[in-house]
Structure 1
Amino acid sequence: MEIKELVTELSDYCRSYSYAGHDPYDALNSPLIQRLTFKNKYLRIIATQLVRRSPINIRPLLGIQKGENPKGIGLFLWGYTKLHRMDPKKEYKEEMGYLFSRLEALESQGYSGSCWGYNFDWQSRTFFRPKGTPTIVNTSFIGHALLDAYETFGEKTYLEKALSIRHFMLKDLKRTRLDEDSFCFSYTPVDTAVVHNANMLGASLLIRLYAHCREEEVKVAALSALSYSMKHQREDGSWYYADTFSEKWIDSFHTGFNLQALRWFIQEGHGESYREAYNKGVDYYASNFFLEDGTPKYFHNQVYPIDVHAPAQAIVFFSGEGEEYRDLTEGILRWTVRHLYSGEGWFYFQKNRHWMNRISYMRWTQAWAFHSLTEYLRRKTIT
């Protein structure tokens, strides 16, 4: 099947549900689970993991409704922006207008600037984040999509919404300082989690925003946050997910997020001093997360479970690395379509060693597939 045809089928599928669906981590939206976990951290984590790992979608039995996830909406907006760049159809622009209106409606309230969270409560090992608590990751992806939409159409509403994000990042997020010249942004305003992909994604959005606002505070914050995570890059070019004892793993798609963030700095003319580190990171990414047939590994030292995020982010990233990585990109793409595409307009969640999780998740799976395939088509058109 041609990728353009696949994208059309995926678009039709997602539009038929108005971009609403279940999510791997939405267990706490269940009224039953809310009662049975008694607000206990460990019971919340266990319940979330049991629902996430189930190969059968038991959410309807638990009263979990399908919903709109802001990050997913942002990824769909980004995808239609790319489609419009290649083929300026009226329907793409109309879809973008609808998705932008949904982002406005889903925006978290009570913060210094525009920001977005998840449509479910979220319990981690260290913090409880209520539904709607804005995250730097969600907000950064949406911000990048808004900037690309503005650069495509020149409509100031997209730019104004993106620029508003800088106030959220600079005023509402906490900072963990390493030294005088570097700090890490928190994951949300209610925690102090130090997570490198989140920090670098936020920093990369700020450096792109700086090109439009020219505020020195924005540039300084972006470079300081980047400095923090670059000082934590390992000698082989990799990063741990975070530097707490329980979070020292190295996985595929978060590695891709880190490198994509760093590439934005280089493209904006503010990351040349990290060029060698970037090249080392790209080499590590390409050399440690893929088998010869394009199979995307989850961790650097473990293949399964193969989560759709791994090939999706790899396609996004390596599509932008040019001819040197074309064979790798094509191999990952072929593997993804062969093993994770349902044949009915949507993608599966995970492939495990002996079984497949075929549940359709709108944000985690379909939005990421749409984002990656449209990026592949855009890059292929450019070259």
Structure 2
Amino acid sequence: MTPALSAAIDTNAIPEANYSPTGEVLGGVRRFISWLDRYGETSWDFQTFYASDLCRNIKQLYYRQPLLGTMAVSPIIFCEAFLPSARSLFWKRQRFPIADAHYAMGFAFLSRHLNSDEHYQRARHFLQVLEETRCAGHDRYCWGYPFNWGTLRGTIWQGTPLITTVPYVYEAFREVHVIDNDARWREIMRSIAEHGVEDYHDFNTSELASSCSYSPFPEQSVGVINANAYRAFMLTQAAIDFSDDRYSKVASRNLHFVLESQNADGSWHYANDGTRHFVDHFHTCFVMKALAKIEALTGDVECTRAIERGVDFYVRNLFDEHGVPKPFAKPPRLIVYRRELYDYAECINLGMLLRGRFEKLDRLVDGVVNQVLTIWQRPNGSFRSRQLLFGWDNVPMHRWAQAQLFRSLSLLLLKSGQQEDLSGVRT
């Protein structure tokens, strides 16, 4: 670790943002692609520590009996905090559909930005992978996690469709369809939309609002805010793509649930279930991203008002005084890390959607991009996964959040190029 990097970590003396979209960012993206070519498309994951039956049951014990469970889970937490490379001892490298969808989008953005057939072909490759890795046993196209996920509500089994994954895949097929107009992609998009509207359960929460289930099994989780935001966006987009009012009617009720769930200070809890009332960085971005996309599609003034209140909370509570993303507005428990790559990725994604509307947010996003390129990207091209209490977690995890950051930087390049085209100036 260089003295300059050590100083940046120890004092948060982040270099001022001064990057060229076609310079440093493109260089960072190219270094990352070179790393991805060498490393491969499978990886370990944030959940790798708990993917085995033994460790998943230990986690469930923690949920049921916190005192006994804390003792049982302590060795795993120690590895997570101080020996992250131990992941390789707990589970295997896997392919993650949510990561493949982000890679497909990222390469599609690069293909458009650089007019590159090579990147377009790489985007198609990830779509073909997604076709192969859809959930088995379902008539409609859908995706979930490739591991058994132990949650507060029980186990979500491998291959269970998740509404927090499916919309990203819909976007991935849509972004490549924009380039090649391949009817095959549109057929899959329609299948995904049908899955989204038919296979999840809705529970009325007010006259105008309904909360959807996290998976097709309603007992597993209801009231998760970002899940409803995702579904509302995907079905709003699908209603326009396929001129089908069935989608917009369901989307409207999920959207109203999100809008009615916004707190007086502009924040959103993770869930309205009386238990998970924390406010964190990347889930806040998830919600506002969906609202920004819906606003762009429909001009909904309620979305506009919610975004304005949400951004005000976001910039005041989820960055520190140096403009560094904070994982939580207020930590709900003891956490074993200081900074999270996922927060950086989603900050940039949100910032690109809202670019030019909120001056303070624009400045923060510029600083975050600079931090990513000067502190978080490693010499081999990959990105650090977390800043721990002591040192770094440098285990690259496609889902957490190498793929998301690659997409965000690729989107930045595409948006910057579009703005330069409009002004008649190329940097």
Give the TM-score taking structure 2 as reference length.
0.83
In structure 2, the partner of 1:4 is: 26
RMSD over aligned Cα atoms: 2.3
User: Structure 1 61/40 Cα, relative in aligned 2: closer, same or farther at 3 Å?
Assistant: closer
Q: In structure 1, which of residues 16, 23, 30 is the aligned counterpart of residue 45 of structure 2?
A: 23
Offset at 1:55? 3.0
1:153 aligns with 2:180: yes
SS at match of 2:44: coil
1:59 aligns with 2:87: yes
Within 5 Å, which residues of 2 pair with 1:222-237? 222-237=251-266
Bigger mean CA deviation after superposition, 190-199 or 121-130: 190-199
Distance in 2 (alpha carbons) for counterparts of 1:13 and 1:177: 47
Bigger mean CA deviation after superposition, 137-146 or 298-307: 298-307
Offset at 1:367? 0.7
Distance in 2 (alpha carbons) for counterparts of 1:251 and 1:182: 24
SS at match of 1:58: helix
Q: In structure 2, which of residues 156, 160, 169 is the aligned counterpart of residue 129 of structure 1?
A: 156
Aligned length: 379
User: Structure 1 138/36 Cα, relative in aligned 2: closer, same or farther at 3 Å?
Assistant: closer
Q: In structure 1, which of residues 205, 208, 215 is the aligned counterpart of residue 234 of structure 2?
A: 205
Partners of 1:116 and 1:133 within 8 A in 2: yes
Distance in 2 (alpha carbons) for counterparts of 1:84 and 1:26: 32
For structure 2, the residue ranges without an aligned partner over 5 or more in a row are 1-22, 64-68, 420-427
In structure 1, the partner of 2:223 is: 194
Partners of 1:293 and 1:335 within 8 A in 2: no
Q: In structure 2, which of residues 36, 61, 68 is the aligned counterpart of residue 14 of structure 1?
A: 36
1:273 aligns with 2:302: yes
Offset at 1:56? 2.8
Distance in 2 (alpha carbons) for counterparts of 1:110 and 1:49: 35
Partners of 1:121 and 1:130 within 8 A in 2: yes
In structure 2, the partner of 1:70 is: 97
Offset at 1:321? 2.0
Offset at 1:348? 1.0
In structure 2, the partner of 1:352 is: 388
User: Structure 1 273/26 Cα, relative in aligned 2: closer, same or farther at 3 Å?
Assistant: same
Offset at 1:300? 1.7
Distance in 2 (alpha carbons) for counterparts of 1:84 and 1:17: 22
Query: Which amino acid counterpart does residue 120 of structure 2 have in structure 1?
Result: K
SS at match of 1:78: helix
Distance in 2 (alpha carbons) for counterparts of 1:16 and 1:72: 17
Partners of 1:320 and 1:379 within 8 A in 2: no
Offset at 1:3? 1.2
Query: Which amino acid counterpart does residue 127 of structure 2 have in structure 1?
Result: F
Q: In structure 1, which of residues 375, 378, 382 is the aligned counterpart of residue 414 of structure 2?
A: 378
User: Structure 1 331/205 Cα, relative in aligned 2: closer, same or farther at 3 Å?
Assistant: same
Distance in 2 (alpha carbons) for counterparts of 1:310 and 1:37: 25
Q: With CA pairs under 8 Å and 6+ residues apart, which has the higher RCO, 1 or 2?
A: 2
Partners of 1:182 and 1:227 within 8 A in 2: yes
Offset at 1:301? 3.5
SS at match of 1:179: coil
Distance in 2 (alpha carbons) for counterparts of 1:146 and 1:282: 29
Partners of 1:24 and 1:51 within 8 A in 2: no
Distance in 2 (alpha carbons) for counterparts of 1:53 and 1:114: 37
Offset at 1:28? 4.5
Offset at 1:371? 1.2
Query: Which amino acid counterpart does residue 108 of structure 1 have in structure 2?
Result: C
Offset at 1:272? 2.4
Offset at 1:112? 4.5
User: Structure 1 374/306 Cα, relative in aligned 2: closer, same or farther at 3 Å?
Assistant: same
Structure having the higher Rg: 2
Overall identity of the aligned pairs, in %: 22
Partners of 2:153 and 2:221 within 8 A in 1: no
Offset at 1:115? 0.9
Bigger mean CA deviation after superposition, 41-50 or 296-305: 41-50
Offset at 1:369? 1.7
Query: Which amino acid counterpart does residue 166 of structure 1 have in structure 2?
Result: A
Partners of 2:102 and 2:172 within 8 A in 1: yes
**Once the two structures are superposed, what CA deviation does each residue of 1:82-127 show, in whole Å capped at 9, x if it has no partner?**
0011112121111112111110011002235211111111000112
Offset at 1:289? 1.4
Query: Which amino acid counterpart does residue 356 of structure 1 have in structure 2?
Result: W
Query: Which amino acid counterpart does residue 199 of structure 2 have in structure 1?
Result: D
In structure 2, the partner of 1:319 is: 352
Query: Which amino acid counterpart does residue 46 of structure 2 have in structure 1?
Result: P
Partners of 1:294 and 1:334 within 8 A in 2: no
Partners of 1:137 and 1:201 within 8 A in 2: yes
Distance in 1 (alpha carbons) for counterparts of 2:235 and 2:190: 9
Distance in 1 (alpha carbons) for counterparts of 2:148 and 2:80: 14
User: Structure 1 39/343 Cα, relative in aligned 2: closer, same or farther at 3 Å?
Assistant: closer
Distance in 2 (alpha carbons) for counterparts of 1:52 and 1:116: 27
Q: In structure 2, which of residues 61, 67, 83 is the aligned counterpart of residue 42 of structure 1?
A: 61
In structure 2, the partner of 1:289 is: 318
User: Structure 1 50/216 Cα, relative in aligned 2: closer, same or farther at 3 Å?
Assistant: farther
Partners of 1:199 and 1:225 within 8 A in 2: yes
Offset at 1:35? 5.0
Bigger mean CA deviation after superposition, 345-354 or 247-256: 345-354
Within 5 Å, which residues of 2 pair with 1:77-226? 77-190=104-217, 191-226=220-255
For structure 1, the residue ranges without an aligned partner over 5 or more in a row are none
